[in-house]
Chains A and B, each alone.
Chain A
Amino acid sequence: MKSFMAVLAVTTALTIPSLASAAQVTLTTKMRSYGGNGAYLAYYVTNAQGRYVGSLWMAGGKTRYYEHLSGWYRATGGNTAEINGITGASVGSGRTLKVTLDLADTLFDAGYQLHIDAAVEDMRDSPNEIVVPLTSAGAGKAVSGSRYIANFSFAR
């Protein structure tokens, strides 16, 4: 079980000026026993038009592998400034990752979607393995992934 506390970097689009309009959100990702090395996971948000808004978390530290997170990579051009200060270790087979962040209230119930791209060395790339709308109603509901992620949920 890994857990992280993080406050989004000031430069990202998701920043909130004061904590008054923000709430702590915990993202819980449980991995399947896929039987490979640690998985790289990219968490990012797109708006109602499907445009990239910003990144929430990057699990995995070696930039040369980021191109395998192809949805995130396409959206950002692999720009590591997008994940400055919100990077952690990759997540092993069968393990669970919990990340707690301060997210602006305005992101919820406004058509934003949370994406998770996953990739494992020498195995299949799995962009958009999870795509969930950021809604108040969706909080606490587990969503299954297709390849590496057993289930994902967020809690406010």
Chain B
Amino acid sequence: MIRSLHRWFGLIAALLLIVITVSGAALSIFPVSDALNTPSAGNISVATLAERIKANEPTVEQIRRAPSGQITAYYFKGDAPVSSAIDPATGAALGTTEKSGVERWLINLHRSLFLDDNGRYAVAFGAVSMLILSTAGLFMLARRAGGWRLIFKPTRGTGDGRLHAILSRAALPGLLLSSMTGLWMVAATFDVLPQGAPAPLFPTEVSGQTGMAPGKIALLQQTPVDALRSLTFPLAGDSTDAFRLKTSDGEGYIDQGNGTLLAWSDANWIDKASHLATMLHTGRGLAWLGVILGLSALVTPVLSWTGLLIWLKGRGRQKIKSVAAADADTIVLVASESGTTWAFAQTLQSALSAAGLRVHVGPITAFNPEHWPKAKRVVLMAATYGDGAAPSMAAGFLDTFRRMPVKRGLSLAILGFGDRSFPAFCGFAKDIADAAESKGWSSLVPFDTVDRQSPQDFARWGRVLAQKLRLDFELNHVPVLPRTWQMELISKRDYGASVQAATSILRFALPKHSFWKRFLGQGFPRFEAGDLIAVVPEGSQLPRYYSLASGSKDGFVEICVRKHAGGLCSGQLVALEPGDSITAFVRANPGFRPQRGRKPVILIGAGTGIGPLAGFARANQKHRAMHLYFGTRHPASDAFYAEELYGWQKEGRLASVSTAFSRSATPAYVQDLLRADAAKLTKLIAAGGQILVCGGREMAAGVADALTDVLAPAGPSLATLKAEGRYAEDVY
């Protein structure tokens, strides 16, 4: 519901909002220049100001004070009407105060699109849309972050979704304020607000005398210039006229003969609220706020664009031709926030169909065993949105599923799709799996997960499925590859020969681009240590991911690779010689890197998992406290980065280095180092420290166990740390 509100208002109002926000951002500059060019009035009274102006310009008709503090006087030079800014210290004219043509043009575009009242209605619709978009967006941000408490924590995820979330979080307060105050202003223009205080009626009786100097009028003496809105002088030669005074407190008439107050009405809260709304919206009188609102508004075009991209990607769900549900023996149901999971379903469908099964593919909302008389098995492919929530299309599915009776002879397979950098990885799929188990559904294959659309994870699950079905198929899911680059190996360091585990640290040159290409954004993307490089090996279209041990600033691309028995890609990489090239692209992994700031960082890695950790240390030029725990096989053969680690420790880029060797005289693992250092670790975590773990799956599980034990007595749980982005894993 909230997502569709956000989506539809975004799509419908995007162009309108871009016009309104860009013109609004441009308008925010003017109050700044006003504030810089307006001389201060000091503590003088309206009486003093009026006297000073009258002494300089005896024909003065009116004095106005703008919210910026600028004083304008209206008078005559001969027969010609003149308006001029006034220096309140002297009463002297400073020059015209009329708005420039550009500013007026922008204002008219901003509030009415040059279409008068119809334009105002359109802009009001824009403001309502912005209000709905911002409010719905706020709920989505909270859901994405995993709760309101975590909304200010670093944003997870990658690509357009992440950019959209980061920018909208920064711009939200400004956009909310602008749209609400803007709506108030439109309402005031159309007189739909409750009535302000009625203006006092012109007094029926005046003294009939003239000539009281404004400087002698008591009320003007008591009114400070800061409270002034306007003071209108009586018409020359009209003894029935009176002074008219408007202040922040109200307005009234003053006799021009004896200075008595003839009529007065106090401003009510509507008047004050309208004035405040105008000031907050325009920044006139609050120039700094205007600039903040202007910058927030400028984000809107980017939000529209990224929002559109997210929506288009989500629509990428292909129409899959499938057997009718009533005739199918295998039902594949998809719950997906974006279209990518549908592509996996298609791969599964073609593999199963080729193996002779009759497969129906549909959305998870179509779950109803009653309609599947011939079905023997159901595969549920469920993506997870944000922190363990269901994709919007599958909202309510869990309840339906829990209510539905178990059907005999029908077995379930559940596969979760998600991103391991979120705390509740594949949370929605896991919930379905738990519900299925507790209801007693028979299980086709055990629950499994696919991390970040990994074709390898999917293929692994496919092998289990093939074995269970006694069929022969491979799930070769070929994702649409982004643009790839050729990269040349410039240096190589080999390790591990003596323990039969060839490992290399490979350094590639950055692909070179002309300035023009980089300017157009077609160059090699920027990356940091901890991001991933996807290498496309020869003879396969499936990219393999490796964690980067360097960032763009280092000027090279470095990875640490161990050759796996039968590994296609790792074999090719370890066999490279300087001058050889690979085909690769970079994928951001923002969840795995040190958070900003000076808080301590605990780096834990084993084997080639040292790569990104070494990259973090190399980039640590600010000498923030980084503590490295590193486990490997043998000091003689597997001491990756040994020289660098020594140097970085001496320079202060690493505060401490502890190493464990599993194949030495006294074998030890990195978990052992952690348990031995429990007191120090507890202290580092209490100081707000962050833990980054890189290595194999088993090692990561061992590290998690060890840390759980270490933190159990006093510290926060690992789950808490993970939710705060203070515990992140990069495992393979």
A62, A64, A70, A147: the one within 8 Å of B81 (CB): A147
Within 8 A of B (CB), among A79-99: 89
Tell me the nearest residue of chain B to A89, going by C-beta: B116
Complex Cα distance A39/B235, Å? 21
Does any Cβ of B come within 8 Å of A111's Cβ? no
Complex Cα distance A154/B61, Å? 29
B99 engages A122 (CB within 8 Å)? yes
A123 engages B83 (CB within 8 Å)? yes
B99, B188, B202: the one within 8 Å of A77 (CB): B202
A62 engages B189 (CB within 8 Å)? yes
Tell me the nearest residue of chain B to A65, going by C-beta: B189
Does any Cβ of B come within 8 Å of A67's Cβ? yes
Interface size on B, residues (CB 8 A): 24
Does any Cβ of B come within 8 Å of A146's Cβ? yes
B101 engages A35 (CB within 8 Å)? yes
A37, A123, A126, A127: the one within 8 Å of B108 (CB): A37
Does any Cβ of A come within 8 Å of B324's Cβ? no
Q: A37-B104, A77-B202 are in contact. Are A124 and B191 (CB under 8 A)?
A: no
B191 engages A64 (CB within 8 Å)? yes
Give the shortest distance, in Å, between A61 (CB) and chain B (any CB). Answer: 8
Tell me the nearest residue of chain B to A129, going by C-beta: B81
Does any Cβ of A come within 8 Å of B62's Cβ? yes
B74 engages A124 (CB within 8 Å)? yes
Complex Cα distance A35/B101, Å? 7
Tell me the nearest residue of chain B to A78, going by C-beta: B199
Does any Cβ of B come within 8 Å of A74's Cβ? yes
User: 1/0 per residue B194-214: CB within 8 Å of A?
Assistant: 000001011000000000000
Tell me the nearest residue of chain A to B193, going by C-beta: A64
Complex Cα distance A128/B117, Å? 28
Residues of B within 8 A of A147 (CB): 81
Name A's interface SS: loop
A77, A89, A125, A146: the one within 8 Å of B201 (CB): A77
Give the shortest distance, in Å, between A40 (CB) and chain B (any CB). Answer: 14
B81, B117, B199, B201: the one within 8 Å of A124 (CB): B81
Residues of B within 8 A of A77 (CB): 201-202
Does any Cβ of A come within 8 Å of B399's Cβ? no
Tell me the nearest residue of chain A to B242, going by C-beta: A74
Does any Cβ of B come within 8 Å of A140's Cβ? no
Does any Cβ of A come within 8 Å of B698's Cβ? no
Within 8 A of B (CB), among A33-89: 35-37, 61-64, 67, 70, 74, 77-78, 89
Does any Cβ of A come within 8 Å of B79's Cβ? yes
Give the shortest distance, in Å, between A147 (CB) and chain B (any CB). Answer: 5
User: Which one of A36, A61, A122 has the greatest number of beta carbons of chain B within 10 Å?
Assistant: A122
B98, B104, B188, B232: the one within 8 Å of A70 (CB): B232
Residues of A within 8 A of B188 (CB): 64
Give the shortest distance, in Å, between A10 (CB) and chain B (any CB). Answer: 25
Complex Cα distance A36/B79, Å? 21
User: 1/0 per residue B532-552: CB within 8 Å of A?
Assistant: 000000000000000000000
Tell me the nearest residue of chain A to B190, going by C-beta: A62
Within 8 A of A (CB), among B69-102: 74, 79-81, 83, 98-99, 101
Give the shortest distance, in Å, between A22 (CB) and chain B (any CB). Answer: 31
Interface size, A (range)? 20 to 34
User: Which one of B79, B81, B101, B189 has the greatest number of beta carbons of chain A within 10 Å?
Assistant: B81
Residues of A within 8 A of B201 (CB): 77
User: 1/0 per residue A133-152: CB within 8 Å of B?
Assistant: 00000000000001100000
Complex Cα distance A64/B185, Å? 12
Complex Cα distance A122/B284, Å? 13
Give the shortest distance, in Å, between A125 (CB) and chain B (any CB). Answer: 7
A63 engages B191 (CB within 8 Å)? yes
Tell me the nearest residue of chain A to B230, going by C-beta: A125
Residues of A within 8 A of B104 (CB): 36-37
Give the shortest distance, in Å, between A81 (CB) and chain B (any CB). Answer: 15
B108 engages A124 (CB within 8 Å)? no
Complex Cα distance A123/B97, Å? 9
Residues of B within 8 A of A63 (CB): 191
Give the shortest distance, in Å, between B110 (CB) and chain A (any CB). Answer: 13
Within 8 A of A (CB), among B632-661: none
Tell me the nearest residue of chain B to A144, going by C-beta: B79
Residues of B within 8 A of A61 (CB): 117
B232 engages A146 (CB within 8 Å)? no
Residues of B within 8 A of A89 (CB): 116
A124 engages B62 (CB within 8 Å)? yes
Give the shortest distance, in Å, between B42 (CB) and chain A (any CB). Answer: 25
A62, A74, A126: the one within 8 Å of B202 (CB): A74
Give the shortest distance, in Å, between B332 (CB) and chain A (any CB). Answer: 62
Residues of B within 8 A of A125 (CB): 61-62, 74, 232
A67 engages B199 (CB within 8 Å)? yes
Complex Cα distance A62/B111, Å? 15
Give the shortest distance, in Å, between B335 (CB) and chain A (any CB). Answer: 53
Complex Cα distance A77/B204, Å? 11
Tell me the nearest residue of chain B to A70, going by C-beta: B232
Complex Cα distance A63/B190, Å? 9
Complex Cα distance A78/B251, Å? 15
A124 engages B232 (CB within 8 Å)? no
Residues of A within 8 A of B235 (CB): 127-128
Residues of A within 8 A of B (CB): 35-37, 61-64, 67, 70, 74, 77-78, 89, 122-128, 146-147
For the complex of A and B, list the 9 residue pairs with the smallest distance between their C-beta atoms, beginning with the closest.
A147-B81, A124-B74, A74-B202, A124-B83, A77-B201, A146-B81, A122-B99, A124-B81, A123-B98
20 more CB-based (< 8 A) A-B contacts, given A124-B74, A146-B79: A36-B98, A37-B108, A61-B117, A62-B189, A62-B191, A63-B191, A64-B189, A64-B191, A70-B232, A89-B116, A122-B98, A122-B99, A123-B83, A123-B98, A124-B62, A124-B81, A124-B83, A125-B61, A126-B81, A147-B81
Residues of B within 8 A of A (CB): 61-62, 74, 79-81, 83, 98-99, 101, 104, 108, 116-117, 188-189, 191, 199, 201-202, 232, 235, 241, 244
6 contacts between A and B (CB under 8 A): A35-B101, A62-B191, A63-B191, A124-B62, A125-B61, A128-B235
